[in-house]
Chains A and B, each alone.
Chain A
Amino acid sequence: MPWVLLFLIAISSVWARDGAMIYAEHCASCHGDQGEGVAGEYEETLTGKKSLKALAKYIHKTMPEDNEDAVVDEDSLAVAKYIQEAFYSPEAQARLNPIRKSLLRRTQHQHRHALADLVADFRWRPFFKKESGLTTRYFNKEKMNNRKQELLVRTEPTISFDLTTEDIKDLTPEGFSIFWQGSLIPPETGIYHFRVRTPNGARLWINALENKSLPLIDAWVSSANQMRESSAQIFLLGGHAVPIRLDYISFKEKKSSIVLEWKPPHGTWEKIPQRQLNPAHSPQVAIVSTPFPPDDASLGYERGATISKAWKESVTQAALELTDQILGDLLQLAEVKKNDADAAKKIEAFCTTFAERAFGRPLSEKQRQTYIKEHFLTHPKRPEKAAKTSLLLTLTSPYFLYPELNRNAEGQADAYTYISRLALTLWDSLPDPQLIDAAKHDYFKHEENFQSHLDRMLKDPRAKHKMKRFFFHWLHLAEKSELNKDSKIFPDFNEQIVADLRASFSDFCESILWSEPSDYRQLFLSQNVPLSPRLKKFYPKPQFSAGLFTHPYVLSTFSYHRQTSPIHRGVYLSRNVLGRFLKPPPEAIAFKDSDFHPHLTMREKVTELTKATSCMTCHSIINPIGFGLENYDAVGRFRTHEGKKPINTVSQYPTPTDEIVEIKGPKDLAHQALYSPEAHQAFIKHLFHHLAQQPVNAYGSNKMRQLHEQFKSKQFHIQKLMREIARTSLQN
């Protein structure tokens, strides 16, 4: 050991002894021997993230409460040093309460994706074409024949036609038909509404094959050429493309038009945007619509740490729903031919592969007996009955529900365990056949194989979809889905603007993430905020100078109904983006606008409301951030005045290292996000939680520091960080 280090340890132990004594004498009566708190005195545990200097200063100035001069100067520094090492700092807490990886079940999101992928791996995956839209065919109709003469085939951006405006060569207005076909790519999971408006005939299939299933909307028979609206809804999974097809016919009718609209989750009625459509064919997706109870999010991210009766019921119901879907297509999935003498064998083999993929490893002899053979022995002549109970057992088995139970016969993690973790981390799903194959041959022993699988996995729509959700979780935008403003003050801020803003935010973040540099810093520097025509109109003079700090979706979400909310902006951005540690307020004070003189600015009101010392511990951090964004009103539009008063955005901000810096506006906030290690670590932490559903410390108390060093050394490359997190998640 170098002598310098020895010296430091010696010094620190001297400090520690002194500090400990002072603590025992002056502090422990209120804070408890280990900072655990004392009933009737100071009840909260004494933990936090203040720097040594700041902590010492705080003690020097304010402690003990009844006798502030008792502990000052070197003594306060000694106490600060002692409590930091003993229990105050996060590192001390991690040492005192070592964090471990806990056994988790799949979250509802992971569960649905796993079910869909289980079946999808027996079908095929769509190969998207570059050009988006749908293949469209025009025909003239002759008598009963709807496809007599093909007039035109082309790719169209969406499903919409009006005879009064379209000019299709040789089309006979008395009788013609149009067919649109391709894939629909749902941007998120939830209920999608569709409506067909036509005075003629139309049939719509979604996630169903037109020759095998009834249409979702059957409006084939018209009624006196009157405009009709037929609607239906269907539950779709984000990122899983489904087949879409619309057949349209106009026959001996004066008016001919059709339009298909949708209302996606968080969206409004509109024609399906072109980028959600692709001319490629897709197979049907096994989507389970059984509702699940919400997952535990008490740690700030969703994870399957708890189970409940409602959850168990959902798992059972979902298993039944999926089994039902599979049995409807069993012969095809099991590749049974007509009059196949081996039908029973093939169905048994299908159930075996199904269980192996669900559990992520080959079945043990015992499992093969329990999950497969017994069922086929019980129903020797009814393989579909055997399949039903076998599939039900697989889908309710702990080996499927708790991915961490994927261990070898000795209970040890092996290559199969790793691919299971990898698929969960990057896809929220199961290992696909390629990963299983890689595990089988132990390919991951070679780094380049591992890297090439990571390449492949990151390009997959499942990874894209998982990351789309990240940005909403990171900023805590996910739970704030209801965004609306006072229509008197902001008359044009309607549902459509909100839907467009949400999409714009998502696009903004994703385009940076999936770009070549994939640079975290661009999230705060880029001014390329994508704006729909509606948004361009609403934000005629955009001042989006600091990336997501000035994105109007963020600014309007963290605002009141009528006014800005510097406190909301300050709290959410300081915690999640700048990584500041804020304790819950000592007392909850609601902001009531009517309590203040109407001529005061929002800044003046907040300053007045939070001026107490106990408030300012945290509000000295919160307020400057909120004030720095006061140039943006409650819908994120730039302004220079509030009422008649000019806006003052300048304030003094204490950095995590207790330097005081001036914040003049969003660019200064961006500077903090770019250069503060706390901000970097907050991003790493959130991404880690989102991907691995486990605390970073569970992988070693050094892990955060390592990830941070790598992140910095790789130019803040987000995708590379994802790779590192994926690699970390393989650890036991």
Chain B
Amino acid sequence: MNARRQFLKKLGISTAALPFLNGLPSFAAEPEQQKQRLIIMFSPNGTVPDRFWPTDPTDPSSSPILAPLAPFRDQMTVIKGISNQVGGDGDRHMRGMSCLLTGSRLHPGNIQGGSDTPAGWASSLSIDQEIKNFLQKNPTTRTRFGSLEIGVAVPDRADPWTRMSYAGSNQPLAPLHDPYQMFKKLYGQAKNREALASVLDPLRSDLKKAAQLVATEDRQLLEQHLDLVRDLEQEISLTSDELSHPEPELDPHIELINDNTPQLARMQMDLLVNALANDMTRVSTLQFMRSVGQARMRWLGIDQGHHHISHQPDKDQDAQQQLEKINIWFAKQLTYLAKRLQDTPDPAIGGNLLQNTTIVWLNELGKGNSHTLDDLPIVLLGSRANLPASYHVLKQKTSHNRLLISLAHSFGHHLSHFGEKQLSQGGPLTFA
């Protein structure tokens, strides 16, 4: 029994008790490298500008929508004045979404919304993939996945409204929105080994029993089989699945439906934090719904679809209040994520994960009913791509390509331009 327990322990099944000790070896392996991580969080359909932008220039969390982020006001940057100036085919939702991280035009295509010309996919790769490729090239920054594309309540359809990450021209990347699939992707192999290990004893005993049933000439085959089971057991015990941070336990019964979005969001964020803590990736997107998304946020007491509400005029007080509620909910999601990162020690560098992670919260529109691509609501948390922590109002309309360049620069990837050259002029953002 004791041997069995030791064996299971080697499997990493009981490592829950030892999260920090197990982290030590990797601490020694990578001491000098300053780890950088990036999470790009997206929420759709624009914000409510006068409830979003801070009222106190010295406190970036001083607005109803940003108030939940108050605990992080010292590590927070809010920038006003960034606009998506990419022109060409596609309606603004579409360009807002599919040009958001690429900074270049859409291909002409067959997808059309209520207005404008039809369009196709983005014509170049997105900044998260650019940074991923940069990190994966270097053995010291390479990770198992390179990047994760995580979704929350993203519908199973692929069009320019549902995709913001691109591996290249015409190569959209689908966000994985099922936490169980995500769990499998991250920990599936280890879990399989655990399950296999647990059936080896009965398997052996049945093989022995079966060997008694057959003629002596046939017994050898089953005895050989028994040896192979022993080999398997040894291999499993030699495979180390030890994680710096044990995988989160998921509630197994959360159906992928609209009403479960809050639980699903939490599961996805827990998995994301865990993946970062175990250094499975350093780049991730976290996409809530999609552009033109019609989430019905009944958990906030809102029955109508989000996109529908976002079209209501400013004078519609009910609608504006609902939109404020919706955006506060997104801010709370961000708060949860930041809190989880802050509470998680960084095994490699000491301190916590948030200190070495840039979180960017983005939206495809400035405002829903006007469909403006100006004054996109932009919040950075954690290491903030090394931008100063404060509320910045840019003096002139600034292309969002420059924000994307700033992100790359914070990883030591000194791009001169990203997406359209014209829109990259000025390079990374600077605040006077």
Residues of A with Cβ closer than 8 Å to B? Answer: 100, 102-103, 105, 143-144, 200-201, 214, 218, 220-225, 249-253, 305-307, 309, 312-313, 316, 320, 324, 370-371, 374, 382, 384-385, 388-389, 392-393, 396-399, 402, 404-405, 407, 411
Contact = CB atoms under 8 A, between A and B. Distances in A.
A382 B196 contact: no
A672 to B, nearest CB: 38
Interface string B406-424: 0000000000000000000
B274 to A, nearest CB: 19
A249 B225 contact: no
Interface in B133-180: 156-160, 170, 172, 174
B252 A307 contact: no
Given A201-B110, A221-B109, A405-B210, A397 B203 contact: yes
A59 to B, nearest CB: 36
Contacts of B206: 370, 397-399
B120 A221 contact: yes
A560 B235 CA distance: 48
A392 B196 contact: yes
A597 B90 CA distance: 74
Contacts of B280: none
B158 A220 contact: yes
Contact of B225 (A144, A223, A385, A398): A398
Most interface-central of A100, A105, A307 (chain B CB within 10 A): A307
Given A224-B108, A382-B252, A389-B195, A102 B218 contact: yes
Nearest to B194: A389
B213 interface: yes
A316 B202 contact: no
B109 A393 contact: no
A253 B159 CA distance: 17
Contacts of A396: 199, 203
B218 A200 contact: no
B109 A224 contact: yes
Contacts of B213: 405, 407, 411
Given A100-B215, A252-B112, 17 more contacts: A102-B217, A221-B110, A221-B111, A222-B110, A223-B120, A225-B110, A249-B110, A251-B111, A307-B225, A312-B225, A316-B232, A384-B252, A392-B195, A392-B196, A393-B203, A397-B206, A402-B222
Given A200-B110, A224-B109, A392-B196, A309 B231 contact: yes
Contacts of B16: none
A102 B218 CA distance: 7
B29 to A, nearest CB: 31
Nearest to A251: B110
A307 B224 contact: yes
Contact of B217 (A100, A143, A313, A316): A100
Contacts of A399: 206, 210
B195 A388 contact: yes
A411 B210 CA distance: 10
Nearest to A410: B213
B268 to A, nearest CB: 18
A316 B120 contact: no
Interface in B187-233: 192, 195-196, 198-199, 202-203, 205-207, 210, 213-215, 217-218, 221-222, 224-225, 228-229, 231-232
B113 interface: yes
B118 interface: yes
Given A307-B221, A316-B196, A225 B108 contact: yes
A218 B111 CA distance: 14
A398 B158 contact: no
14 contacts: A102-B218, A103-B214, A222-B109, A251-B118, A252-B110, A312-B225, A312-B228, A384-B252, A388-B195, A389-B198, A392-B196, A398-B222, A399-B206, A404-B214
Given A201-B110, A399-B206, A221 B225 contact: no
Interface string B95-127: 000000000000111111110001011000000
B158 A218 contact: yes
A384 B157 CA distance: 28
Contacts of B109: 221-224
The 9 A-B pairs at the shortest CB distance, nearest first, are namely A103-B218, A393-B199, A222-B110, A312-B228, A224-B108, A251-B110, A398-B210, A223-B107, A223-B120
B107 A224 contact: yes
Contacts of B195: 388-389, 392
Contacts of B157: 220
Contacts of A374: 202
A250 B113 contact: no
Contacts of A411: 213
B222 A144 contact: no
Given A218-B158, A252-B118, A307-B228, A320 B110 contact: no
B110 A398 contact: no
Given A307-B225, A316-B232, A398-B207, A389 B199 contact: yes
A103 B109 CA distance: 61
Contacts of A385: 252
A252 B157 CA distance: 21
B254 to A, nearest CB: 13
Contacts of A370: 202, 205-206
Given A309-B228, A309-B231, A223 B214 contact: no
B87 to A, nearest CB: 16
Nearest to A218: B158
Contacts of B111: 201, 220-222, 251
B121 A221 contact: yes
A416 to B, nearest CB: 14
Contacts of B120: 221-224
B22 to A, nearest CB: 24
Contacts of A218: 158
A219 to B, nearest CB: 10
